[in-house]
Copies of this chain bind each other. A is one copy, B any other.
């Protein structure tokens, strides 16, 4: 695998590598996703990959009954919560290997809508199968509990910082998180394509489109990153980490 990463190459690669569980990290927003490795279980027996979607297609819709879990094989998607006013907020971007739909296990109803950001391939684990495995397979149940528990922990860290972080901190957090996730997938952690627009990043981080753009420009003139459209190269990850910890 080459060190540089073009959008097409990443998208074309359809194997979700089993990522290792990771320790405490200081970045945001891995929410409601979770990793597939512990769940490989439910998949090995289920056989064929299932769902194929195109850009802007809907994988599942908030408010609908829980019918299946999905594990991303290739592509990426965004998880959106719509509030009563109709405003949309992006609560997570999901990459290959991540599990979608776990948040619906408790209520039986999906809390988020998942839109494909590009061509998307997913495994599907039907609800009945999830139920059955949870009841009769202690190891599977434990795996699900672990994934959920890790998600809650990540959410705690996210909440910790969201109220108080500056725009630069949020972007540093966002970029470092993406870098680490790509790296765990076997791609370069220092150069990658963003799959989402500036507006979507802003929706995710609680910033306006303009602030996202301005802050990225500032990081670029400061020499911390190279940005050209959706292509990003992290030039000084240590400095980004410093921004994350100690502010702009």
A→B interface (CB under 8 Å): 23-24, 26, 29, 31-32, 79, 81, 83-85, 89, 91-92, 102-107, 109, 111-112, 134-136, 138-139, 141-142, 144-153, 155-164, 170, 205-207, 245-246
User: Is chain A's interface secondary structure helix, strand, loop, or mixed overall?
Assistant: helix
The 8 A-B residue pairs whose C-beta atoms are closest, nearest first, are A163-B206, A106-B149, A135-B138, A155-B155, A106-B146, A141-B141, A148-B148, A106-B150
Chain B residues, Cβ within 8 Å of A111: 24, 153, 156-157
> How many chain copies?
2
Cα A148 to Cα B29 with chains together (Å): 17
A-B contact pairs, 9 of them (CB 8 A): A81-B156, A105-B146, A106-B145, A134-B138, A155-B155, A158-B159, A159-B162, A162-B162, A163-B206
With A162-B206, A205-B163 as contacts: A155 and B106 at CB distance below 8 Å = no
Nearest residue in B to A104 (C-beta to C-beta)? B149
In the assembled complex, how far is the CB of residue A15 from the closest CB belonging to chain B, in whole angstroms? 25
With A84-B245, A148-B145 as contacts: A160 and B91 at CB distance below 8 Å = yes
Chain B residues, Cβ within 8 Å of A158: 155, 159
